[in-house]
Amino acid sequence: MFSNPSLITRIGVGKLVGSVIGLIGFVALPWIWPEADMLIRWGILLWYTTFGAIIGVFGAFTRHPILKLPMPWFVRAPFIGAWMNFVLAFFAYDKMEAMLVSLFGALNLGDVGWMTSPFWFALEGAIAGLLIGWLATRFGGEGLAAVEADAA
């Protein structure tokens, strides 16, 4: 199963690893932020499952379609992961900030809490994306070979 490149395998591995990351968040969130409700916990679980699937799908692109530059997995996957969590920080800024304040307290440099910025989740997304991208490429291949194997 893992010997031939396959886009379906890439997506499956991405969803599996994303689900594991989301499950860790689902289980750990009550200890990190006791005020978290079930909706946020389920959101984290489903967000990272989708996160992994999207990184898996993007394994078909090994070159940037507009710039015509190579996009190896170790550039593509962390970028997608960071971008997705960066966008998430915009939508859930207040909740994420409350969670980080609960976790780190009010660590302030001047009047700005640098550890309480939700945009740190972009870095976390890059790290999770790197892990998912590596595993998806390792087991599912990448590029046209993965797409053509599923079309045959």
79-135 pLDDT per residue, tens: 999 999 999 999 999 888 888 877 776 555 444 566 778 888 999 999 999 999 999
Residue 4 per-residue DSSP state: S
* pLDDT class of 65 with cuts at 50, 70, 90: confident
| For the chain, domain boundaries | 7-151
* pLDDT class of 75 with cuts at 50, 70, 90: very high
Distance between CA atoms of residues 132 and 6, nearest Å? 15
Six-digit token pair at 115?
């550890």
**27, burial (CB in 10 Å: exposed 0-12, middle 13-18, buried 19+):** exposed
Cβ(146)–Cβ(14) below 8 Å: no
Nearest to 89 by CA among 126, 49, 116, 119: 119
Q: What is the pLDDT of residue 113?
A: 63
Give the 3-state secondary structure of 9-73: HHHHHHHHHHHHHHHHHHHHHHHHCCCCCHHHHHHHHHHHHHHHHHHHHHHHCCECCCCCCECCH
Q: What is the pLDDT of residues 19-48, one digit of tens each?
A: 999 999 999 999 988 888 999 999 999 999
pTM: 0.86
- The alpha carbon of residue 65 and the mean position of all alpha carbons in its chain are separated, in whole angstroms, by 22
